[in-house]
Amino acid sequence: MARRYFTTPIYYVNDRPHIGHLYTTVVTDTLARFFRQQGEDVRLLTGTDEHGQNIEKVAKKEGVAPIVVADRHALTFRNLWKEFGISNDDFIRTTELRHRLGVEEIIRRIDAAGDLYSAGHEGWYCANCEAFYPEKDLVDGNCPVHGFKTEWQREENVFFRLSKYGPRLLELYEKGVEGKPFVFPESRLNEVRSFVESGLKDLSVSRTTISWGIPFPGRPGHVVYVWLDALVNYITALGLGSSDLTLYERYWPGIHVIGKDILRFHAVYWPAFLMSAGLPVPRQIVSHGWWLRDAKKMSKSTGNVVRPDDLVAAFGVDALRWHLVSAMSFGQDANFSDEDFLAGYNADLANGLGNTLSRAVKMSRDFFGGKTPSVRRKTTPGGPLVFVAAQKAGDDWKNSFEGYRLQDAAAAIRYLLGAIDAEITATEPWKALRQPPLSSEELFEFRSHVLYDCLEALRVAACMLAPIAPRTATEVFRRLGTDKRAEDLRASDLAWGLLPLDAPLPAAPPLFPRADAKEYFASRGAGTAGASKESSVADTKENISPSKQIPPSSPETKISIDDFLKIDLRVGEVIAAEKVEKSKKLMKMTVRIGEEVRTIVGGIATAYTAEQLVGRKLVFVANLAPAKLMGIESNGMVLAATLPETGEASLLAVDPSVPSGAKVK
């Protein structure tokens, strides 16, 4: 039996998961489910990355031990994957003993190969990536991934002789593994090849400036570099470092599904570590694109993330799974918006699947006593049309999955559903009078043939849908009178003619009720797209129309308690900031207020730099009407006192332990 070991990245636990995490996990789960359905022995791993500087910072800010932060967010990831039906066989945490033992084992092997040495290290460091970047890779001096300012750092580290492995890596890229390219897609393979061809420098694999990590074996005062620590999870979860290597021998090497921002770590550093340790390199690195927001990569660091909560509450888990798989061309970037989600939901799920299923089931119930037809026609290679469409769709679907073209697999399902709907429209089985006239027996046979074909094609479509939206597929089977479960399917289930005859068809409400976009946005208090609200607001008179300016006040001005209570003051945490171009005063801040993320513009740029603002908890007016400043829409106002000597702003801060979103009274 063929075997495949799929892994997601292990996710950093300094914040809650967002759409980017969800996408990687859903597409990996979809691939794992497809190959299980093909009869392969598949194992799926996910988990959490819990060491490093950023966790240490978050814990310090909250006044708790780092493990408290790790425990909290690891549970959140576990619960979200359960909610989304992720079929992982294991969940690895880098704070587990089994992981630490595996890291120590691979370091022992690398050290025995003579590939570790100590030396001073300096370079441009991005705290969010926890990585050093060559100056040539910086963008205006900033991190090429997040756009944040990098810092020049120097420390004494343990180094790995990465430069030694350049020729072997290039050979790996040229030959691939088991006849497959080592990196997919080809554009990413070319990217890492170019990086290695330009010359590799030895890699720092320890840190002395932080303490939250695995102590580096034999190097007191050093902790293992977070990427060496994290990457080894793929084999520590299989037992490396323990006495039981059964899973390792059965499933390694694996297939890593990752975002393109961590390609270099997986396609250059990781195989080099394994080569040094005398272990097999991964079977393949599959690198997808980014979900973008405002033309930027979604990232909790920059505050432009989309959380799945609202969409799931309104439309269900499988609707979002379908959108994530079908709306992005795998390997390329895509923009996320609620409008696109709703358009796809209505076209593909409410109409394409839901309405077609309802029409076919209702007619069969009406004509055949609440059951599927009792007879079906014999199929031939030339017809009926939905049979031919099902054959074509099934072939396209299988080939698309095997080529990592998940969006094309979804398109094959759309094609088949369209063919079923067209068959119903063309044959009009609800009409009793036909041309030429039919006897009652002939009419019964005609309806039986047409509706069996349509119901059977819907069953095949559900089999194809199962890897992407497993709960929906199982529900479609139930509504078609069969007790199949998505998890039990095999390739043979796509064969034509397996729908049972005379099977009871239960009455059921619409599978996916059509969504009204206006009602949805109105219910969320939003007029435009955005699964996380990103509007804006003003706290300065610069470029505000007179009608939106705040009237002057004086000590003699009196307001009632009722008027004061209309002001919603909240604690918010600044998670990103940047000075507004062509403005002396304006600072654009991305602010988390409870579960909501907003853009708020304030006239504080002459008093504070962006770096001084990020991470601070301040007081904001949360219910101020939106306004535009220098073309930036915003929603909120930051509170500040005015220094009498200079006229500069002095922000009102709160104790760091106060949670974001807390009401100020």
User: Which residues participate in catalysis according to the annotation?
Assistant: 18, 21, 126, 129, 143, 146, 297, 300
Rounded Cα distance between 345 and 593, Å, is: 29
**Structure tokens, 247:** 């899973």
* Locus of tokens 């600072």: 587
Alpha-helical runs (H) found in 466-513: 470-479
**Structure tokens, 462:** 């559900």
SS (H, E, C) 26-54: HHHHHHHHHHHHCCCEEEEEEEEECCCHH
Rounded Cα distance between 390 and 373, Å, is: 19
Beta-carbon contacts of residue 8 (< 8 Å; ≥ 6 apart): 24, 25, 28, 45, 46, 47, 257, 258
Strands, E assignment, 465-595: 569-579, 587-593
**Structure tokens, 579:** 């000075």
Cβ(280)–Cβ(109) below 8 Å? no
User: Strands of 284-288's sheet, edge to edge?
Assistant: 90-93, 41-49, 3-12, 255-259, 284-288, 183-184
Stated as kind and residue range, the H or E segment containing 565 is: helix 561-565
Ramachandran region of residue 647, left (φ > 0), alpha (ψ -120 to 50) or beta? left
**Structure tokens, 626:** 């939106």
Q: Is the peptide bond before 384 cis (omega within 30 degrees of 0)?
A: yes
Report residue 244 CA to chain centroid gap: 33
Please, which residues bridge with residue 42 across strands?
A: 4
Cβ(577)–Cβ(597) below 8 Å? no
Give 644: exposed, middle or buried? Use CB within 10 Å, 0-12, 13-18, 19+: exposed
Strand 41-49 and strand 90-93: pairing?
parallel
Rounded Cα distance between 374 and 654, Å, is: 72
Please, which residues bridge with residue 183 across strands?
A: 285
**Structure tokens, 118:** 């100590």
Rounded Cα distance between 486 and 32, Å, is: 13
